[in-house]
Amino acid sequence: MRTRRRGFLGRIGFWLGMIILLSPVVFVFFWMLSLAFKPDVENTAYPPIFIPHHPTLDNFRYVFANSPFALYARNSFVVAFGATALSLLVGVPAGYGIAKARAYGLAAFVLISRMTPGLSYLIPWFMLFRFVGLNNTLWALIITHLTIGLPITIWVMMGFFEDLHPELEEAALVDGAGIWAAFRDVALPLSRPGIVVAAILAFIFSWNDFIFAVVLAGRETRTLPVAVFNVLTFEQLAWGALAAAALIVTLPVLILTAFVQRQIIVGMTAGGIKG
């Protein structure tokens, strides 16, 4: 009886803790929804109005009418998919090599490169791209986003490859396969959950990046986070339009997370199992 009571109280405590931790995030998200669907009169009312009295889509119309959001969305998809693909192409073999060589010093260097603020890369990247003629191009953004996605991919894949039983690869080597064949035919298929997790994380971080795009992108190569920034004007702060733009930027990531949350959980759980 006491065990059941403790288990019941433990579950209540867990859910209460989750509610307390998530309530600020949920409140901010629903407040953004409220701002996006309210007219300016209600957005500036005091006391604040949380539930719109007269819901409207004027804020979304304003956003699409005053900025080329379709172009910015296309740029964001191209940059995010391109950076993710290159991160996987380079990061998966790199993670395998670091894991099998137990090059923990190189692993620490990869982690440090991820922790380094993006601002420290801006001037070197800008000078390099100006020298090679890539300024104001999508390729410039794709390359710079590798500093975000590549360390994440390497770090995630290292954990998966370290958990693989070495007997599987040793059996392939005994049968005459080379190290590349063992990686391609044995390690790569077994690490598919990790590849999915790394791809999702790299895509999300690339999609949300602002600092590289605002400095290195041109008028025709801006991405959606920069488009949200462009909604701000010196004349007034249009809360409704700003919230509508932020919602448009956030929506693809929310949809992606909702569809692949099971793969994320399975992948992270698989990467955490030892032995």
Cα angle value 65/66/69 (rounded, 5°) = 75
Burial class (CB in 10 A: 0-12, 13-18, 19+), 135: middle
Instruction: Tell how far CA 105 is from the center of its chain.
Output: 26
Domain residue spans of the chain: 59-272
Amino acid at 54: H
Distance set, CA 142 to CA 78, 136, 212 (Å): 8, 12, 10
- Predicted local distance difference test score (pLDDT) of residue 87: 92
Q: Which residues of the chain have pLDDT under 50?
A: 234, 271-275
pLDDT confidence of residue 2: 61
Contact 87, 200 (CB under 8 A): no
| The predicted structure's pLDDT at residue 82 | 93
Record: fold of 59-272: MetI-like fold (1.10.3720)
**Which amino acid type is present at position 191?**
S
